[in-house]
Structure 1
């Protein structure tokens, strides 16, 4: 998050490659940006903690429940409308994740709780972003959003780290801090954000969502091939396939609904201002990379 803050500052203020969108006020920052940054920090913390207990592949399978959390919270906040079709899609995704979990050989419920907590935090973050973009009247592209959110998220991560994790690190005999590996991770995260933003601007949100499904399967299969603690079972694969089918149906439904809700909004305007869908896709990739 610090790296992202520095790079966004350099792009917008030093080299002035991209202009920061206007309209941000202190009141909007406190009421909207800080909650988004806090939920982003919570997503990263809980999501990364889950990897200490469960495999990368199983964590990816659990992330498939995200549309369910987003839909239910969106309905609670009045952003989504309940319908039989959406309830059916949510049921398919839920059943798929449950089947995939049943097929897990070595399941750690601590890791599952961490991952589910990260999913809820991520869903809240996306809800807050949609409220921010739709109801506050501020339109931001990805760089502008990261420019405001990253410093807040970094602070939200630093404070608990200082009191909860740093003492444990100091008490340990030795702990390794690989700066080059950390730099590469930060660089990959930022490049991923830019690549998703460019894909959306040069093609469409549909392309980004389709490639996102391919990415999810790649993560599951590659992690099974690379990491020794990942053992995929036939039930795992069947359950995840069911969940992904539900996710594809959800994405298809959302892409059909959004254009109807904004018939006057041109494609170029959506790219320049950053629609909630575009920001959701891009910042979702931030979490994945982190």
Structure 2
């Protein structure tokens, strides 16, 4: 206690607990995201497990996630689907199916890139996500064009271009696949805001997988039958390792839960900042353990992109603070107006009583 019985300026136990829990959520998400990325690389890379079938791997993930989600929602009824507004057939066709299609292509191309590119370089290319989200947001009129924001996007793009220039294992096809995955994922994120969030529909990870995973499975089934099934039939010596693919699918499913936990208990901005930390850890892991070549030009380019992403997150944080301050000001004004109206009503009541 301070002088005069005032509380000491130290943090309260509740605040400390909240901070520690936030760090725990961040740690869980980083660990699972890290594990899924490295695990997928291990399975798909020809020099490691040597199972270069990204569509098949994604199909296994979607089948696993669909099964778990259906059991939890339909059989055990531990999770309730949204009811206000309800998920109608029309809403599913107009909103969920486009999002599911984009998600399936994003996962397919992203997993395909692991066959051709190093883990470190893929993480550097993923730094373009804010650029893609901002550009597509402008296209769909969800973002306002600002010269300062565009300059920031150009700095991120320049950094990634320098990193690509210094890449020792540059592969045009692999880069094209990863850039396509970024474009599909960015479009999906924007459409979630337009098609679901704007309509007041909020999905947790279980209900998201319950609606989206079967849709993804069906969208991936067609290219799988055309592209990978004929090749798999020829490799009759291969037998599905249930431990490898089961544990891999379980990690992917747990990552979806961790995303919801992190965003729900902290914020999407926290996940973005944690993602930057995860990228540096993956680059270090890729260089030290997997023995991928990371050049000085790679690091300089990614360093420039990293500063651009950090500034992007800073601007987002300031915007969130400004919105919160404006919301608080509006609430205070509403409360003050309500108090004045109550005071005026009570004054009028007293006058009418005195006149009576």
Instruction: Pick the TM interval, shorter chain.
Output: 0.7 to 0.9
The count of corresponding residues between Structure 1 and Structure 2 is 264
> Is the 1:102–1:235 contact (alpha carbons within 8 Å) kept by the matching residues of 2?
yes
TM-score with structure 1 setting the length: 0.84
Q: Which residue of 2 aligns with 1:107?
A: 170
Structure 1 residue 81: Cα displacement: 0.6
Given the alignment, which residue of 123, 139, 148 partners 2:186?
123
Q: 1:1-290 to 2 correspondence within 5 Å?
A: 1-22=62-83, 23-172=86-235, 174-228=237-291, 230-258=292-320
Structure 1 residue 260: Cα displacement: 5.1
Structure 1 residue 24: Cα displacement: 1.0
Q: Which has the higher contact order (CA 8 A, sep 6+)?
A: 1
Structure 1 residue 76: Cα displacement: 0.4
Structure 1 residue 52: Cα displacement: 1.3
Q: What are structure 1's unaligned runs of at least 5 residues?
A: 266-290
C-alpha root-mean-square deviation of aligned residues, in Å?
2.0
Residues of 2 paired with 1:250 and 1:57: CA distance? 21
> Is the 2:95–2:196 contact (alpha carbons within 8 Å) kept by the matching residues of 1?
no
TM-score with structure 2 setting the length: 0.69
2:243 counterpart SS class: helix
> Is the 2:118–2:169 contact (alpha carbons within 8 Å) kept by the matching residues of 1?
no
Deviations 1:43-93 (A, max 9, x none): 111111111111111111111111111111110010111112211210111
1:125 counterpart SS class: helix
Deviations 1:187-208 (A, max 9, x none): 1112122123222333333332
Deviations 1:70-118 (A, max 9, x none): 1111100101111122112101110110111011112110111111111
Structure 1 residue 154: Cα displacement: 1.1
Larger Rg: 2
